[in-house]
Amino acid sequence: MGPFFQQAHLEILSNTVALSEEIISDCFGLTTDYWLRNPFEVRTLKDEKRMTLPRGVYAHLEKYGNDWREKFYGKDTRCLYRIVVLDPRVLETTGGREAVIRPFLLYIMTHELIHVVRFSRFECAVSVEDKTEEEGKVHLLTQSVLKGVKIPNLDLVVDFFKGEKLTLCMN
Ligand SMILES: [Zn+2]
């Protein structure tokens, strides 16, 4: 498996994580301590050393902590989210070009953090039966949240995730 992200890619990743956190906080009107109460960590496949890749996705979200129902009933409010970015797949799709990786990672991180917000607000359960429907909703929310964001090639990436473009070729 591989190749994995290089240092330059990891820096872009951490910048886009911070940017998507900010965009989502604004759009969803989150309180300043929101991400402290709903902490998440971002890893790449290289750190994870896993052999299995979920099919057709670029990142994978996991939630640790007690069952959401206990959280809902106030028994435990702690939980931790882990987002694993499947870096070999991101590199393959973007060709490793910085001009594409940046908007691509911004889309992915925004998408995953919207999942986090929806879990934390009980707008969907982690064990939600119809994952396809939830995915569709989160893609629509991602696209609407990113509408006002001006970074190069983001429109290309949005079209790609809408299925309107099959490749991320810039011509
Ligand atoms: Zn998703």
Q: Per-residue pLDDT tens, the chain, 171 aa: give them.
A: 779 999 999 999 999 999 999 999 999 999 989 998 899 999 998 888 766 767 788 998 988 875 555 555 655 556 789 999 999 999 999 998 999 999 999 999 999 999 999 988 877 765 656 778 889 999 999 999 999 899 999 999 999 999 887 788 665
Q: Is residue 145 part of a domain?
A: yes
* Distance from the alpha carbon of residue 70 to the mean position of ligand 1, in angstroms: 24
Burial of 100: CB neighbours in 10 Å, binned 0-12, 13-18, 19+: buried
pLDDT at 170: 60
pLDDT attached to residue 80: 86
Residue 168 domain-assigned (yes or no): no
CA of 127 to the centre of ligand 1 (A): 13
Domain count, the chain: 1
Nearest-5° angle of CA 116, CA 77, CA 75?
A: 135
Tell me how far apart the alpha carbons of residues 11 and 31 are, in angstroms, rounded to a whole number.
Answer: 26
- pLDDT number for residue 68: 54
Please tell me the pTM assigned to this model.
0.88
Ligand 1 centre from 148 Cα, in Å?
21
**80 lies in some domain:** yes
With 0-12 CB in 10 A as exposed, 13-18 as middle and 19+ as buried, what is 24? buried
Under 8 Å between Cβ of 43 and 5: no
**Is residue 1 in a domain?**
no
Rounded to the nearest angstrom, the distance between the alpha carbon of 94 and the centre of ligand 1 is 19
Q: Which residues surround ligand 1, an ion (CB under 5 A)?
A: 135, 138
Supply the range of the domain harboring residue 62. 7-162
Side-by-side strand order, sheet with 79-85: 40-44, 79-85, 59-65
Measured in Å, residue 17 CA sits from the centre of ligand 1 at 16
Domain annotation covers residue 171: no
Instruction: Using the mean position of ligand 1's atoms as its centre, give its distance from the Cα of residue 98 in Å.
Output: 23
Any domain includes 39: yes
Given the structure tokens 């011509």, which residue do they identify? 171
How many whole angstroms separate alpha carbon 76 and alpha carbon 69?
Answer: 9
